[in-house]
Amino acid sequence: MKKQEKFIKIFELSVSKVLFDFINNEVLRGTNINKKRFWSGFNKAVHQLAPINKKLIQSRHKMQRSIDNYLLSKRGKKLNKKDYKKFLRKIGYLKKNKPNFKIQTKNVDKEISDICGPQLVCPVSNARFLLNAANARWVSLYDSLYGSDIIPETKGAVKGNTYNPIRGKEVISYSRNILDKLVPLKEESWKNLKEIPKIKNNKVNLKLINNKQFVGYSKISGSLFSIFFKNNNLHIEILFDQTGKMEINNPDGNQDPLKIHDIFIESAITTICDHEDSVAAVDAEDKVLGYRNWLLLMKGKLNSSFFKNGKKVYRKLNKDKSYISPNGSRLKLHGRSLLLNRNVGHLMTNPCILLKDGSECPEGILDAFVTSAACLHDFKINGNSRNKSIYIVKPKMHGPDECLFTDLIFKKVEKVLKLRENQILCGIMDEERRTSVNLRECIRALKKRVFFINTGFLDRTGDEIHTSMEFGPMVLKGDMKSSKWIRAYENNNVEVGLSCGFSGKAQIGKGMWAMPDLLNDMLKQKISHPESGANCAWVPSPTAAAIHSLHYHQVNVFSRQKEILKRKKAKLDDLLEIPINPSNNKWSKFQISEELKNNTQGILGYVVRWIDQSVGCSKVPDIKGVGLMEDRATCRISSQHIANWLHHGVCSKKQVLEIMKKMAKIVDRQNLKDKSMKDQSPYQSMGENYYQSIAFKTACDLVFHGKSQPSGYTEPLLHFNRIMKKSI
């Protein structure tokens, strides 16, 4: 049995001693905010904000009941959009657009305003992953190509356990082709160069089609070490091995006649350090783990050690890159990704702090205070934001009223922490239906601090299913991407952002590539994101960031945004199109069974890691064995989809339970083979005793009680059952 947690009484709060000591001794120490100011300010603010928070959640429930009743009365009929919009306006779900405006955000770092490129999302609870992500500002193109499926394992070019010169040769050849595209020479190809370039009077002797692309070089012991180029505001560094002794155990550069040891490309321009969908944080112990990692990042002191191939490896934050420009001046390039912090949304509370009435503290309010306080340390060293700005991404907000509430939270934080007005900048996750149909007014509510809007297909689909639950059975999950509302949603996000003045000031983002092992497919497909006018798009790993960065070299996003401003705008009627299955489209028993297997596979594979291992985001094999990135958003859509089909009689509870039991055994076998699972605590099978497994029970609850979950979210059930698991 877990030892009972100690609480400290301060003002009207009862605070977990673990959290209390961490804030006092680690977060506040070295800042100009003393303990009394912080706790008295937090106490006053949280007791003012919590009732508003509660009313907003109640408003969600009230609107959902009204929508349920309306759609129930229209079931089996064609939806009259004019009447539907009138109804949504009457209940306050749909807001009237006010006059046009432009955002007024100030003090935005150039990574947000000027540079278009990949955006990593990383769980804040894993220090090693965080370091990899922060350091993914610069990633080896050679390593990324060598380890990915972009280079086929044919004609002897297999990856193997040791370095393969045949594969290395293919990597070098592929990289030369990339240089020919991104930094083209006038009269020849990079593949045909025989000598290391020379620097004279700070100029390189290469004949470039665009001489402005050469921005500098670096030397070691008097010899040329690297040259820097720039394309679409992204840097490329070519490193040379003039001694033949660089990285002897990884001699990929040594076999190159031009002695190019490696090519480093600017990759993850920004990184979201995530407290939300990719973590499993249910109490003070979990929250402090994430908070401490964020604090150490802001202090520039995060480090990690681990064993790799039998050797202990130490990892810390990269230093900035230094180089000499063509005019002879010494310059620096930032060595790390700009770090953003994704707080949790407005729904969840956390037992690490109890309010005066004994209720749990709204977790989003706590996140705002603690993560912002940690940034006070960054202001001393300018290691992250050179403009002394705090970047908080706020997810799962439902409409303008909740955006206004976020603004109010940040105002309270700024007052307590003695920050300037609007020093906390806000990213809006455009992932809930009420936000996407009111996006302009959501941005207006945060117009002085918004730095980012981003689509989230999975959460938006989960909310679509839950909101429209009563209207009919939803289409197959794979057919969702061809639904009319999806295209309107993605286009509307870009169009509204541009009309509000985001170009050159703030980010417009796109969603995650969910198949981290299929990077060749990503290389072919994800260019659609910069082509859509998005400044950034999510990637699951540093390697994926390096590959996706090539797309931003090929597409000038700012030019594309100018073109998009001229196109016909997305229609509200299309955004409100409900993706139910047409009555004349009957699914076979096989189709229904396969859809249920696919959904339950993802749910079980994700939930067993969340509940038993406290892993909030993981690569889970689907029924075909393809590894898919799963988090609470993917779990939300899968569980809501089955709940919808159950509600409309497409399948039965007995059928779903039988499939859940069958898939539990398959997931068990997959997990027992998974090397990453061996690093966790001993795996507990779900299939050996279904009714003793808290994880299996949780997965069932998400499906069979999915309709009653607030907005279809998975958090309440996941948190409750994880706490149960931790108490054993």
382: left (phi over 0), alpha (psi -120 to 50) or beta: left
User: Which residue has tokens 């945060």?
Assistant: 446
Active-site annotation holder among 292, 336, 342, 609: 342
Phi, psi of 434 (to 5 degrees): -70, -25
Structure tokens at 125: 């609870």
Taking the C-alpha atoms of residue 49 and residue 42, their distance in angstroms, rounded to an integer, is 10
Reading the block at residue 261, the tokens are 């040891």
List the one residue out of 647, 130, 67 whose CA is nearest residue 339: 130
Options 283, 463, 631, 668, the catalytic residue = 631
Query: Mind spelling out the 3-state secondary structure of 340-409?
Result: EEECCCCCCEEEEEECCCCCEEEHHHHHHHHHHHHHHHHHHHCCCCCCCCEEEEECCCCHHHHHHHHHHH
Nearest Cα to Cα of residue 535 among 118, 39, 46, 238: 118
* Phi–psi pair at 395, nearest 5 degrees: -95, 165
Identify the helix (H) or strand (E) that includes residue 338: strand 338-342
| Residue 616, both tokens | 């909030």
Q: Report the C-alpha gap between 666 and 321 in whole angstroms.
A: 48
Q: For residue 237, what are the β-bridge partners?
A: 228, 264
> Is 342 a known active-site residue?
yes
- Between CA 159 and CA 93 the distance in angstroms is 54
Residue 460 backbone class (left: φ over 0; alpha: ψ -120 to 50; beta: rest): alpha
Catalytically active residues are 342, 631
